Amino acid sequence: MEFNNSSVDNVRSQMRKGVLEYCILSILNKKDAYASSIISELKDANMIVVEGTLYPLLIRQKNQGLLTYRWEESTQGPPRKYYAITEKGRGQLTEMDIAWKEVVDTVELIKK
């Protein structure tokens, strides 16, 4: 049924939205990255469909002090923003790891 499909899609996109910030911090925890490589990693993992979602999130997380950026010169064109996670961001990531485990465990427990 059409209606069911769209409501499943809606739930799925809500779930992804909920963990998107968690994913951004996880990616930057591995290594520093340009916005474009964060985008391509999220796209490969089917986390985002359009790129526009990401830019407001990055600025918001930067303002919260979770991540920072520096300007890196590039061989062609103007310098680009190179994002990195901060200590505060690492702290939040650890808490998010715990929260994520809790959610997954709870859902598994209920389904049993």
Partner 1 sequence: MKTVVNVGIGGRSFIIDEDAYLKLDAYLNKFRAKTDMGYHTNEVMDDLEMRIAELFQQDLGSKSEVVNLSLVNKVIAQLGMPDGSADDGSFGNTNRTTYSSESGRVRKRFYRDSDNTIIGGVCSGLAAYLNLDIVLIRVLFVICFFCGSVGFWAYIIFWIVAPKAETAAQKCEMHGLPVTAENMSKFSHNK
Measure the CA–CA gap between 39 and 80, rounded to whole angstroms.
14
80 contributes a contact to partner 1 by CB under 8 A: yes
Nearer residue to partner 1 within complex by CB, 59 or 98: 59
Judged by CB under 8 A, how many residues of this single chain contact partner 1?
21
Nearer residue to partner 1 within complex by CB, 80 or 101: 80
Bridge partners, residue 68, by sequence: 84
Give one DSSP letter per residue of 36-82, joined into a string: HHHHHHHHHTTS-SSGGGHHHHHHHHHHTTSEEEEEE--SSSS-EEE
19 contributes a contact to partner 1 by CB under 8 A: no
32 contributes a contact to partner 1 by CB under 8 A: no
- Answer for which of 1, 2, 56, 110 binds partner 1 (CB under 8 A) is 56
